[in-house]
């Protein structure tokens, strides 16, 4: 049975640890592809172009929008972030799963254009812990931290837009939960109804003959 890959969307507040879950999940599931976003944000210490993001300038980003090379994009925290279309579409067509680590607005755009996408929201154990994680990164100013916390709380209030949630308390357990969600989604009948009927078409026709 030919199966398309899954489009997995992982969202959650900045500092929820979704990046760490994603990294560990990818280490354990080598065939799954990670969509690398394009952004106009400056790289943080240790971030590598082409690995963490494609760091590009505003005119280049706007050119990508113009040429419809992005699956979705948003303007948040004074910067553009977007998902390059080609990688995701090619990977899914070839039958491999792809994971997108994006914020809620982008996730809603994906949900509208790819209703089959699997939307998962990562929650921090508590807001205090979230704040501690963002502050300990030491990469944002106090004003930027406040903006990120505000946005986090707004994002959490819209969690019902997602199908699944993971509370990121224990990394290994969170990864296990993510794997379980992906595995279950791969066996959802509605995803493969047509293929299942095609596979058993002759028998199903035979049954009809038999019951005449
Ligand atoms: P950060 O600046 O912390 O790397 O990312 C800020 C937010 O933008 C995070 O919630 C991150 O998941 C989200 N983000 C990263 N890439 C994309 C993207 O391509 N599209 C959308 N919609 N959000 C993204």
CATH number belonging to the domain at 7-35+96-210, selected among 3.40.50.300, 3.90.1310.10, 3.30.200.20, 3.40.50.880? 3.40.50.300
- The closest residue, in CA terms, to atom 6 on ligand 1 is 14
Segment 74-117, tens digit of pLDDT: 998 889 999 999 999 999 999 999 999 999 999 999 999 999 99
Q: What is the pLDDT of residue 114?
A: 95
pLDDT (tens digit per residue) in 15-43:
889 999 999 999 999 999 999 999 999 99
Residue nearest to atom 20 of ligand 1 (CA): 82
Structure tokens at 70: 């992005």
Say if CB 117 and CB 111 are below 8 A apart.
yes
| Spatial separation of the C-alpha atoms in residues 129 and 167, rounded to whole Å | 12
Name which residue sits closest to atom 11 of ligand 1, judged by CA. 102
> Going by C-beta distance under 8 Å and a sequence separation of 6 or more, which residues neighbour residue 102?
9, 10, 11, 37, 72, 74, 81, 83, 110
Ranges of each domain in the chain: 7-35+96-210
The pLDDT of residue 129 is above 90: no
Q: Is 17 annotated as a binding residue?
A: yes
* Cα 108 to averaged position of ligand 1 atoms, centre (Å): 13
Find the 65 Cα to ligand 1 centroid distance in Å. 16
Residue 84 labelled as part of a binding site: no
Is 13 known as a binding-site position? yes
Give the number of the atom of ligand 1 that is nearest the alpha carbon of residue 35. 19
Nearest protein CA to atom 15 of ligand 1, as residue: 102
**What residues does 105 pair with on adjacent strands?**
none
Which whole number is the average pLDDT over 175-203?
A: 92
- pLDDT number for residue 141: 86
- Whether residue 140 has pLDDT greater than 70: yes
Q: Of all protein residues, whose CA lies closest to atom 24 belonging to ligand 1?
A: 102
Alpha helices per DSSP H over the chain:
18-28, 58-66, 85-93, 104-113, 127-137, 142-156, 171-186, 189-199, 201-210
Please tell me the predicted confidence (pLDDT) of residue 169. Answer: 92
What is the predicted pLDDT for the residue at 210? 63
Q: What is the pLDDT of residue 39?
A: 98
pLDDT, residue 120, reads 98
| Residue ranges around ligand 1 (CB below 6 Å) | 14, 37, 41, 72, 74, 76, 81-83, 101-103, 105-106
User: Is the pLDDT reported for residue 11 higher than 70?
Assistant: yes
Mutation probe of ligand 1 site: the residue of 10, 74, 103 with most atoms within 8 A of C-beta: 103
Confidence of residue 175 (pLDDT cuts 50, 70, 90): very high
206: left (phi over 0), alpha (psi -120 to 50) or beta: alpha
**Residue 26: left if φ>0, alpha if ψ -120 to 50, beta else—which one?**
alpha
- Predicted local confidence at residue 5, as pLDDT: 95
- Work out the pLDDT band at 199, boundaries 50, 70, 90: confident
Give the 3-state secondary structure percentages of the chain, helix then strand then coil, rounded to 5: 50, 20, 30
pLDDT of residue 130: 85
Mean pLDDT confidence for 138-143:
83
């Amino acid at each position: 049975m030919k199966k398309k890959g899954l489009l997995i969307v992982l969202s959650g507040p900045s500092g929820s640890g979704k990046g760490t879950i994603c990294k560990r999940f990818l280490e354990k599931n080598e065939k799954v592809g990670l969509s690398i976003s394009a952004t106009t944000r400056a790289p943080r210490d240790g971030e590598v172009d082409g690995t963490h993001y494609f760091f590009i300038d505003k005119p280049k980003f706007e050119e990508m929008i113009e040429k419809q090379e992005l699956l979705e994009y948003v303007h948040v925290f004074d910067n553009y972030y977007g998902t390059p279309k080609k990688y995701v579409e090619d990977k899914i067509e070839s039958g491999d799963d792809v994971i997108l680590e994006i914020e809620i607005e982008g996730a809603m755009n994906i949900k509208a254009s790819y209703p089959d996408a699997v939307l998962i929201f990562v929650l921090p154990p508590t807001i205090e812990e979230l704040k501690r994680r963002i502050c300990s990164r030491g990469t944002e100013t106090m004003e930027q931290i406040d903006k990120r916390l505000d946005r986090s709380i707004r994002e959490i209030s819209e969690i019902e837009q997602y199908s699944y949630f993971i509370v990121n308390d224990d990394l290994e357990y969170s990864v296990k939960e993510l794997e379980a969600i992906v595995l279950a989604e791969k066996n959802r009948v509605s995803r493969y109804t047509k293929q299942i009927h095609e596979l058993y078409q002759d028998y199903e026709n035979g049954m009809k003959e038999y019951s005449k």
